[in-house]
Structure 1
Amino acid sequence: MTREILEKELKKAGVPDYIYNLTGQGKKDECLCLEKIGDKWSVYYLERGVKTTNEIFDTENDACQFLYAELMD
């Protein structure tokens, strides 16, 4: 899964776009974020500048699958 496919799936499922950030740009506070850092993918929840969840993945697919599962739970 890619970020583009993830975004389509989340929209199809009716997940509000203000609770996630898939680009690392724009609003990143109080939402789940997906960001490529170097050659790794990071999924984290940022609240008041503090990352409360920070999972690191080797592939975009793994990160997207994790983020999808978190948002659908």
Structure 2
Amino acid sequence: MDKKEFIKIMKKKHVPNFYYNIEGTGRDDERFYLNKDEHGWNVYYAERGCKTTNKYFNSESEALEYICKRLTE
């Protein structure tokens, strides 16, 4: 899955875009956030400055699939 496909699925499932940030810039609080760093693709959910979900993936596709699953369950 790439970012375009992810966004298409989110729109189809009526998931508001303020529930996630997959661009790595801008706000990261109270939403799923995707970030690439030296350890891989990092996905976390931050609330009031505290990360409640903090997972690493080997690929962007795996990370996006994880966010998609969490937001559409």
Query: When the two structures are superposed, what TM-score results if normalisation uses the length of structure 1?
Result: 0.89
1:64 is matched with 64
SS at match of 1:70: helix
Structure 1 runs of 4+ aligned residues shifted over 4 Å read: none
Identity of aligned residues (%): 40
Structure 2: gaps of 5 or more residues: none
Alpha-carbon separation, structure 1, partners of 2:3 and 2:49: 23
Query: When the two structures are superposed, what TM-score results if normalisation uses the length of structure 2?
Result: 0.89
1:7 is matched with 7
Structure 1: gaps of 5 or more residues: none
Shift of 1:26: 1.1
Alpha-carbon separation, structure 1, partners of 2:23 and 2:59: 15
My pick for the range that moved more, 47-56 or 32-41, is: 32-41
Amino acid at match of 1:54: N
- Pairing of 1:1-73 with structure 2 (within 5 A): 1-38=1-38, 40-73=40-73
Amino acid at match of 1:32: F
CA RMSD after TM alignment: 1.2
In the alignment of these two chains, the number of paired residues is: 73
SS at match of 1:63: helix
